[in-house]
Amino acid sequence: MISNEGCQIGIVSLQRALQLAEEAGLDLVEISPNANPPVCRILDFSKYYYHKERKARELKKKQHVVLVKEIKFGPNTDDHDYNFKKNNAIRFLKQQNKVKFTVRFKGRQMAHKELGYDVLERIAEDLKDIIEIDSKPSSEKNLLTMVVSPKKEIDRIIEKLESVDTEPMENEEIIDE
């Protein structure tokens, strides 16, 4: 048995433990029922329950639910559309979500599945610094899919890449016209 101050009282009978709890004006709570002998503590149960619930709520606030965002391509996606979708993928990855890239084939495009593999290889190559490939490109009927997840330190990697892109070159001259 443990007192309300946290001091260990020792092994006492149930009647004695209840009497001590009643004298203190608190509750007798069984903390570890599977121990031999069971461990009990004298405390204010409502206060204990309140703090336990509050801690659980705080932990729930801090956790992040990983979503799978899907980005669809065609086998003949143009550069502007490709870059727009790639930037959306980067935004989703920054939010710590997984991204599923899908290439959809229509009609006679099914004869040229290698174009879809090329699109997925290109996106994997462009994002290789910030992604980990969860599933390699796989084909199902008229779809070709690949799932990626962000690397752990994605924010730091992106900042580093952006700082390299914005720094002027040594030999670069500024010309005023």
Contact 104, 142 (CB under 8 A): yes
pLDDT tens, residue order, the chain (177 aa): 888 888 898 899 989 999 999 998 999 988 888 888 889 999 998 988 999 899 999 988 888 788 899 999 999 999 999 999 999 999 999 999 999 999 999 999 999 999 999 999 999 999 998 999 999 999 998 999 999 999 888 888 888 877 776 665 555 555 555
Tokens of 68: 């799978």
Pairing verdict, β 143-150 and 98-104? antiparallel
Domain 68-165 has what CATH class? Answer: alpha beta
What does the alpha-carbon distance between residue 14 and residue 23 come to, in Å, rounded to a whole number? 14
Domain boundaries, the chain: 1-46, 68-165
Q: State the pLDDT at residue 168.
A: 59
Q: What is the greatest pairwise CA distance in the chain?
A: 96
**Listed residue (100, 103, 99) closest to 81, CA to CA:** 103
The fold adopted by the segment(s) 1-46 is: Ubiquitin-like (UB roll) (3.10.20)
